[in-house]
Structure 1
Amino acid sequence: MFKFFCTFMGCQSYLCLKLFHYFLMVCAVGVWIFCMVSVSLGVIFASSSSDRFHFRGYHHNNSIELMGIVLPAASLIFMAFASYRCLITMEPFKSPSLTVKVLGVQWYWQYEIQDWGYDWTVESRLKKNAFGEVGFQDSVDWWLYGVDYPLVVPINQKIQVVVTSSDVIHSWALPSLGIKMDCVPGMSNCVPMVILSPGVYTGMCSELCGANHSQMPVFVEAVSLDIWRDVMKKGSSF
């Protein structure tokens, strides 16, 4: 998996990998355009300031004019094709393996899984300590991200996440999975998710939703299919 510098999480989903590859491709095209323009400007300035360099061969040169049209057009077509592939990847699954409903409420998340014969519903709230202080977690790694009941999903499965809201607009965001979907009252939005490796993935509500907007972390635990079945049978998270 790709690992970003500093402490950022790497891409852990197929969608995130596609987006990251597209980002690298756009950066490469941008560098190539910058180099071509720099070389062209260097040739023009050198020809205008040097008597030994004759600009006559470049003036009204059909080959250079053709390259100036074809190369930028080819770059745009290449980028359009790559972006189209990313858009196709973001389309909801036609036949998902699992459907998860995410309901945004001021100020917590409610997760529902009514699939595969299971009926699993939890309310994921920011964890508090004995003094009622929010953001408390035994491990400092999950400070302000620790919740009482995380969302537990299996890896390597086509998961359809259906997000909505009961009050105001929220946004369910998981950067390491390439997911950011608005939760709009009265509307259901779908986002596909295929997690490649087990682990803990965190995010945050990325739409200003009120006074306790900062107390709506997204906490997802990806586990193997057997462990996930055990969790569903128990009716709660770990």
Structure 2
Amino acid sequence: MIKHLFSYYSIFKNYSSNSIIVMEEFHDFTMMFLTIITFFILVVILRLIISKFFNYKFMENINMELIWTILPMGILIFIAYPSLFYLYLFDLLVNPSVTIKVFGAQWYWIYENFDNLKGYTYSSYMIQDLEMLSLENYKMGWRLLETDTRLTVPYGAKIQCLTTSLDVIHSFSIPELGIKVDAVPGRLNSINFQISRPGVYYGQCAEICGTGHPFMPICLEAI
């Protein structure tokens, strides 16, 4: 039991190899506490039901109050430490396949791709209605969501996205991919994601950033 109780420490070292195993280990770890607590409560309730005696003068017990205050605190600490550890590790990508940097501006996006040799930067603006009608069929996307330049990333690869802003607070959000990270001036936020299938994914700025807020869409294409 003790060996299994602290087995998650060995998982920390290999968390990047299989996150599913890590979550299963943490689930088993928390379920062990839940099982013990449930069993203890059931025993107490059963004892109260079958007992023939009752103390009518029992009003307070300092030792018992200390136990039911300190013991839950200790259990929460045992659960909170690995939980916070996992949250930190899941946001940390050691060796991403692709790193992109996203700048929020009023009111468009600037993307910067990095590779081993060089990086290149390009801006992305929303396509106006009249302009969209003159585009090729493959480029005719959703109204107010299609952009003149798409953020292109490989699907199936581990992608690290770094976000910041040039002026006010923006929010880089693609709901279909579960991505939402604030772009804050003077701060570099990071989010990691992996796209399982190719396609075009749309999003918008999720932070009210001025009069052009509804007109700075995000168009990501996974190839």
Q: TM-score range by the shorter chain?
A: 0.5 to 0.7
Q: Which residue of 1 aligns with 2:102?
A: 102
Greater C-alpha radius of gyration: 2
What is the Cα deviation at residue 121 of structure 1? 3.4
What RMSD in Å do the two structures reach over aligned CA positions? 4.4
* Structure 2 alignment gaps of length 5 or more: 1-15, 134-138
Give the direction of change, closer, same or farther, for the CA distance of 1:80–1:178 in structure 2 (3 Å limit). farther
Distance in 2 (alpha carbons) for counterparts of 1:168 and 1:204: 15
AA aligned opposite 1:111: Y
Within a 5 Å distance, the mapping from 1:167-186 to structure 2 comes to 167-186=167-186
Q: Which residue of 2 aligns with 1:211?
A: 211
Query: Contact 1:145/1:218 (CA < 8 Å) preserved in 2?
Result: yes
What is the Cα deviation at residue 209 of structure 1? 0.9
AA aligned opposite 1:193: F
Partner of 2:129, secondary structure, is: coil
Query: Contact 2:129/2:143 (CA < 8 Å) preserved in 1?
Result: no
Q: Does 1:84 align with 2:85?
A: yes
Give the direction of change, closer, same or farther, for the CA distance of 1:201–1:76 in structure 2 (3 Å limit). farther
AA aligned opposite 2:155: I
Q: Count the aligned residue pairs.
A: 183
Query: Contact 2:132/2:140 (CA < 8 Å) preserved in 1?
Result: no
Which structure ranks higher in relative contact order (CA pairs < 8 Å, sequence separation ≥ 6)? Answer: 1
Partner of 2:88, secondary structure, is: helix
Q: Which residue of 1 aligns with 2:202?
A: 202
Query: Contact 2:93/2:192 (CA < 8 Å) preserved in 1?
Result: yes
Distance in 2 (alpha carbons) for counterparts of 1:80 and 1:178: 26
What is the Cα deviation at residue 119 of structure 1? 5.0
What is the Cα deviation at residue 97 of structure 1? 2.4
Superposed CA deviations along residues 70-115 of structure 1, whole A, max 9, x for unmatched, are 567435532442342022111354x432221211111111112242
Distance in 2 (alpha carbons) for counterparts of 1:131 and 1:164: 29
Distance in 2 (alpha carbons) for counterparts of 1:132 and 1:220: 17
The TM-score normalised by the length of structure 2 is 0.59
Superposed CA deviations along residues 166-225 of structure 1, whole A, max 9, x for unmatched, are 2212121234444332222333333333333333333321222111112222222222xx
* Structure 1 alignment gaps of length 5 or more: 1-13, 224-238
Distance in 2 (alpha carbons) for counterparts of 1:74 and 1:187: 36
Give the direction of change, closer, same or farther, for the CA distance of 1:76–1:199 in structure 2 (3 Å limit). farther
Distance in 2 (alpha carbons) for counterparts of 1:126 and 1:213: 11
Query: Contact 1:92/1:190 (CA < 8 Å) preserved in 2?
Result: no
Deviates more, 1:68-77 or 1:172-181: 68-77
What is the Cα deviation at residue 157 of structure 1? 2.3
Distance in 1 (alpha carbons) for counterparts of 2:165 and 2:176: 23
Distance in 1 (alpha carbons) for counterparts of 2:131 and 2:196: 38
The TM-score normalised by the length of structure 1 is 0.56
Distance in 1 (alpha carbons) for counterparts of 2:53 and 2:144: 66
Query: Contact 2:128/2:144 (CA < 8 Å) preserved in 1?
Result: no
Distance in 1 (alpha carbons) for counterparts of 2:67 and 2:126: 60
Within a 5 Å distance, the mapping from 1:51-130 to structure 2 comes to 55=54, 70=71, 73-74=74-75, 77-93=78-94, 95-117=95-117, 120-130=120-130
